[in-house]
């Protein structure tokens, strides 16, 4: 009961400790999927926008949020899924982009036309720089990497394969 009305700042801190199931080096707050946290009297309302609709990780994320808050004594939680506006890689902050790069994944580029604005398959027009050596000479090897939101590239200079977090 002590934490029943924990400040929303504290709650944001707790949520920052929840890793994304697909990219555990990023928290759900880094990803920008937590859109709103506020109290409605005795009930805490959290709004989450999944990275893309039908994301299989969404139910796992919801369970992590519930369990994390339950551990802190918050029992009355309303978890709302908001699909519009759709999540966009524009919501990834600089911290998230730096963490992606540190993990060897080329972050979405500002110059890239988001996938949601392109016809299918047309997204590969822009190629990301190699996160390992910085070379711009990279070639796409697969539209999907370890997850649907990533594509696979190979560097023409250091010959290392790497993943690119596509721009949505």
Q: Return residues touching Zn ion (CB under 5 A).
A: 130, 132-133, 135, 155, 157-158
CB of 123 vs Zn ion, minimal distance in Å: 21
Q: Based on CB atoms, which residue is closest to Zn ion, 49 or 127?
A: 127
Angle at the Cα of 148 from the Cα atoms of 20 and 113, rounded to 5 degrees: 100
Q: Based on CB atoms, which residue is closest to Zn ion, 118 or 158?
A: 158
The answer to whether 128 touches 104, Cβ cutoff 8 Å, is no
Q: Based on CB atoms, which residue is closest to Zn ion, 27 or 129?
A: 129
CB of 100 vs Zn ion, minimal distance in Å: 16
Q: How far apart are CA 165 and CA 98, in angstroms?
A: 12
**H/E element, 97:** helix 94-102
CB of 130 vs Zn ion, minimal distance in Å: 3
């Amino acid at each position: 009961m002590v934490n029943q009305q924990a400040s929303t700042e504290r709650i944001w801190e707790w949520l920052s400790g929840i890793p994304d199931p697909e990219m555990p080096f990023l928290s759900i707050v880094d990803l920008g999927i937590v859109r709103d946290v506020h109290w409605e009297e005795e009930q805490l309302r959290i709004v989450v926008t999944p990275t893309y609709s039908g994301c299989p990780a969404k139910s796992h994320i919801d369970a992590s949020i519930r369990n994390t808050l339950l551990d802190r004594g918050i029992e009355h939680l309303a978890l709302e899924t908001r699909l519009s506006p759709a999540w966009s890689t524009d919501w990834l902050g600089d911290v998230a982009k730096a963490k992606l790069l540190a993990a060897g994944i080329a972050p979405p580029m500002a110059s890239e036309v988001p996938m949601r604005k392109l016809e299918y398959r047309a997204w590969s027009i822009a190629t990301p720089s190699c996160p390992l050596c910085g070379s711009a000479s990279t070639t796409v090897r697969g539209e999907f990497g370890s997850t649907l939101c990533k594509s696979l590239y190979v560097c023409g200079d250091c010959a290392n394969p790497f993943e690119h977090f596509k721009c949505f």
